[in-house]
Amino acid sequence: MTEFTKPMPVQCKPQAWAAWLVKLMGWRIEFDGLPTKQGVLIGYPHTSNWDFITMMPAKWAMGLPIQFFAKESLFRIPLFGRWIRFIGAVPIDRSSPRGVVGEMVDSLIRHKQNDEILWIGLSPEGTRKLTDGWRSGFYQLALGADVPLLMLHIDYGKKLAKVTDFMRLTGDVQADYAHIAKVYEGVQGFHVNQAAPIRPLPARTTANGNTQTNR
């Protein structure tokens, strides 16, 4: 696993009003910058709608340049389209032959070539409900674009948003997931029993007998 040197070279612009709001909610933040201008952020555990309500002020309090992708049609809805763009949403073409993950990989690579900031936020569980494991999209994205993975702790037990754990994926899925599980050890979601185990979801078998990974 790659060790990232400190101080982090990419510093962000925190918003004082958001820091005040986070403190008012009783939460703490641990964050000291980013190692590169491009990367993938995962938030865990994601077990409640409260995650969005608490983590958006934390995002602004840190000045994190996190974006997430949403289908293009949402941006055509009056007012709602403007709102989701304001909070960091970026339109993506789900009909692309490259697929959603392929489109995001291309976007990260373009931003690297242009030396522009792009950090993509994803929920590896893919849902607030209990699942048997994690979807593979975040892994394919960080590995395919060769960017760091940032592991956000959404810890209701400590009321802590911790954004200090980074790693470079090796391609050894078992070893990488073991490291991620160690990083998240002891972190408690809003609904403690709904946090998915940190392991890849098993591949699905399609109607024609082929296997398909869970993205």
Read off the pLDDT of residues 80-114 as tens digits, 9 standing for 90 and up: 878 878 887 777 766 665 678 888 899 999 999 99
On whether the CB atoms of residues 215 and 201 are closer than 8 A, the answer is: no
| pLDDT at 211 (0 to 100) | 47
Dihedral sign, Cα of residue 178, residue 128, residue 212, residue 204 = positive
Average predicted confidence (pLDDT) for the chain: 88
Residue 191 in any domain: the answer is no
Residue 100 in any domain: the answer is yes
On whether the CB atoms of residues 93 and 148 are closer than 8 A, the answer is: no
Domain extent at residue 95:
16-186
Q: Please tell me the distance from the alpha carbon of residue 12 to that of residue 19, in angstroms, as a whole number.
A: 13
| Structure-derived torsion over alpha carbons of residues 126, 43, 155, 16, reported in degrees to the nearest 10 | -130
Residue 8 in any domain: the answer is no
| pLDDT at 207 (0 to 100) | 45
Residue 97: give its domain's CATH number: 3.40.50
Where residue 70 falls among pLDDT bands split at 50, 70, 90? confident
| pLDDT at 212 (0 to 100) | 52
Q: Please tell me the distance from the alpha carbon of residue 215 to that of residue 207, in angstroms, as a whole number.
A: 18
Residue 52 in any domain: the answer is yes
Where residue 79 falls among pLDDT bands split at 50, 70, 90? confident
Where residue 67 falls among pLDDT bands split at 50, 70, 90? confident
Overall domain count for the chain: 1
Q: Please tell me the distance from the alpha carbon of residue 59 to that of residue 80, in angstroms, as a whole number.
A: 20
Where residue 171 falls among pLDDT bands split at 50, 70, 90? very high
Read off the pLDDT of residues 19-52 as tens digits, 9 standing for 90 and up: 999 999 999 999 999 999 999 999 999 999 899 8
